[in-house]
Structure 1
Amino acid sequence: MNTETIATILIILGFFIIFPLFWSIIVFLISRLGGWGSMAESYTHHEPHAAECFPLQSAILRLSSSYRNVVKICADEEGVYFSVMFLFRPGHPPFFVPWGEISGIKKNYFLYNVVDLRFQRTSNLPFRVYQRTADKLVAVANGRWTYEE
């Protein structure tokens, strides 16, 4: 093997090691800055039982951390389960919030109607979802939860 071939192999191997590491660090920092990590620390991972799931949802956390079409939201009679796609999982463990610990207020966020969800244990951290997503949660809650207009 000549030096150019060895250099090419090292560059390719370096990419497959460095890029995933860099990606994981960036995604982890977004989790910490946005608040997802704090929410997941406060609420344990609990798989919902007979849940209705809504994949590819969007959410906006503090510091405008936007999770566009990467959030999976599942709801059952006990509460709501939040997770993100596998590629965004570093620093973003799934978490479950009981209905009784969720409040919501409808707001305008730029040009969109959103519902600002607040969880009791992390009440200083906003978790904004589009109103259409919140309406799906209201339907699944079946009287257990709704948001303020």
Structure 2
Amino acid sequence: MNGFLLELASSAVLADFNPLPIVFALFPLVFAGMWCGICFMLSMLGGWRSLAESFPDRGQPCDQSFRMQSGRLGWVNYNSVLTIHSGPAGFRLAVWPPFRPGHPPLFIPWNAMRNATIKRLFWLELVSFELGSPKIATLQLPKKIFAGRGVIG
């Protein structure tokens, strides 16, 4: 049997075998799987997944849009990947499509915000607040989202 394996290994079939086409074919699948896995993991670590259960997007009307916004949910920073739509009943929070796995759009009613505080980070003013009762997660967003809504002091 060992003689057969040695003969097979030294044969012309294996000598001409090139693994690059297989690597090139599998790389996009492996990359996409890892990307989706990391996005799902971040949604669980930050609390997005828990918020999605309590605050699913219901298509509420919104009158202001803020694109390429940054925010923080729990331990996870969302730098320039958030789209926020603000309206009379609350705000819709969505992540750009490439980062969407595990992050369904949310609709947060204004009255779901608890313990809002304003923080300054260099020239930015941020509002940090808890969501849900009992607390589900802590969210931090730019103050301009809340301008004219009367939800923060």
| TM-score of the superposed pair, with normalisation by structure 2 | 0.79
Task: Output the amino acid matched with 1:23.
Answer: W
User: For 2:95, which of 77, 81, 84 is the aligned residue?
Assistant: 84
Q: Is the 8 A contact 1:38 1:122 kept in 2?
A: no
1:36 maps onto 2:48 in alignment? yes
**Is there any run of 5+ residues in structure 2 with no aligned partner, and where?**
1-15
Structure 1 counterpart of 2:23: 11
1:93 maps onto 2:104 in alignment? yes
Q: Is the 8 A contact 2:62 2:91 kept in 1?
A: no
Task: Output the amino acid matched with 1:58.
Answer: S
Q: Is the 8 A contact 1:102 1:120 kept in 2?
A: yes
Bigger fraction of residues in helix? 1
Once the 2 structures are TM-superposed, how far is the Cα of residue 83 of structure 1 from its aligned partner? 0.5
Once the 2 structures are TM-superposed, how far is the Cα of residue 90 of structure 1 from its aligned partner? 0.9
Q: 1:68-103 CA distances to partner (integer Å, 9 max, x unpaired)?
A: 000111011111100000111111111101122224
Q: 1:123-149 CA distances to partner (integer Å, 9 max, x unpaired)?
A: 24110113xxx233223x2xxx3224x
Q: Distance in 1 between matches of 2:147 and 2:123?
A: 22
**Is there any run of 5+ residues in structure 1 with no aligned partner, and where?**
none
Q: How many residues align?
A: 137
Rg larger in structure: 2
3-state SS in 1 of match to 2:137: coil
Q: Distance in 1 between matches of 2:132 and 2:17?
A: 60
Q: Distance in 2 between matches of 1:109 and 1:35?
A: 23
Q: Distance in 2 between matches of 1:92 and 1:10?
A: 32
The list of structure 1 runs, each at least 4 consecutive aligned residues, that deviate by more than 4 angstroms after superposition, is 108-112
Structure 2 counterpart of 1:138: 147
| TM-score of the superposed pair, with normalisation by structure 1 | 0.81
Structure 1 residues 116-125 or 22-31, which shifts more?
A: 116-125
